[in-house]
Amino acid sequence: MMPLSRRDLLKLGAGAGVSMIAGHAPLSASPRDAPPHARANGVPQENLITKPIPSTGERLPVIGLGSAQTFNLRQGDADYAEAQDVVRLFRDLGGKVVDTAPTYGRSERFLGDTVKQFGISNDLFIATKVNVGSAGKEAADAQMRNSLDVFGRSTCDLIQVWNLGGSIARLSAATLNEHMEALQEWKTAGRIRYLGITTSRDPQYEDTEQAMRNYTLDFVQLDYSIGDRIPEQRLLPLASERGIAVLANRPFTTGNLFGRVAGKSLPQWTTEFDCTSWAQFFLKFIVSHPAVTCAIPATSDPGHLRDNMGACLGRLPDRAMRQRMVEHFATL
């Protein structure tokens, strides 16, 4: 059977449905780093749950926005305007971290055009990537300069070496050092604020672990969800030990999680951590891990975006509750 998508799940009416941020009263998260006038659809941004970047202490909301596949759009595409609305809504709801890459088709260009059109480029924490394989540092420099041009900025918040400088088909750290040299030079020159690496496949975890030990990194991006907890074994503890911020990609394990919960209601005890949908259940599990800084679910649907951002409000599950979530998920 094909994996059940979140859209299919909502059509079936499973769980609690989509949670709208506008329906939340201010909950227990402490005010953090938001201008006093800023509001997220009626809810002050300072109520968003935030976590610090270990290398600087700068705080980020724990829910961000990914762009792989969802924003691979051209002007004139049927979903283009709605996807632009998602980006603007994300910013209006207090979102910060937007993650993309030059290798995600037109996603980076779409985001650049959108944030420039709305004048919000400097309101967001823009994370992109670099990967030119074995083409060398000059090619890496050129790709990163193009990313700055795309976003109309002289400095990027975060650039990450995508897939350790390898590819999905050929997972290798052979060219990582050239990429890291380019990033370090850019950081020293003030052209990027943070640098990091990414992975999304467990065959690459050994190389990722080695890179986390060998380089001074601000961020590591990896795949992590309640359905894929392998990073808990080594990578997440190492990130804590080394003081590396973690961006969690594939938080719904490409949608397979929603098939597990189709036709099932949320347990009543999820109200103890202010959870009103399965998406929030999955996201709050991720960002409640002490090592995780921010989860970056990708969506081009405004309703899904609002639901995701609901995981950035209220309480997070503690260690005992996380174990309860794992045990319950195993029964589904």
139-158 pLDDT tens trace: 999 999 999 999 999 999 99
Containing domain of residue 159, as a range?
6-330
pLDDT at 130: 97
The total number of structural domains that make up the chain: 1
Residue 24 clears pLDDT 60, i.e. is over it: no
Residue 80 in domain: yes
pLDDT at 81: 96
* Residue 39: pLDDT band with limits 50, 70, 90: very low
Which amino acid is residue 14, in one-letter code? A
**In 3D, which of 133, 115, 131 has the Cα closest to residue 123?**
115
Question: What SS3 class is residue 38?
Answer: coil
* Torsion-angle region of 63 (φ positive above 0: left; ψ -120 to 50: alpha; else: beta): beta
Query: What does 198-212 look like in DSSP terms, one character per residue?
Result: E---GGGHHHHHHHH
Residue 210 in domain: yes
Token code pair at residue 44: 């002050």
pLDDT at 43: 45
Residue 203 clears pLDDT 70, i.e. is over it: yes
Predicted confidence (pLDDT) per residue in 266-296, tens digit: 999 999 999 999 999 999 999 999 999 999 9
* Residue 34: pLDDT band with limits 50, 70, 90: very low
Mean pLDDT estimate for the chain? 87
pLDDT at 3: 54
The region of weakest confidence among 18-22, 176-180, 303-307 is 18-22
Residue 322 in domain: yes
Residue 255 in domain: yes
CATH for 259: 3.20.20.100
**Residue linked to tokens 């609305």:** 85
Residue 1 in domain: no
* Residue 167: pLDDT band with limits 50, 70, 90: low
Contacts of 25 (CB under 8 A, 6+ apart): none
Distance separating alpha carbons of residues 311 and 282, to the nearest angstrom: 9
Residue 26 clears pLDDT 50, i.e. is over it: no
Residue 36 in domain: yes
pLDDT at 297: 97
Mean pLDDT (whole number) for 224-232:
96
Residue 313 in domain: yes
The region of weakest confidence among 38-47, 65-74, 75-84, 215-224 is 38-47
Residue 206 in domain: yes
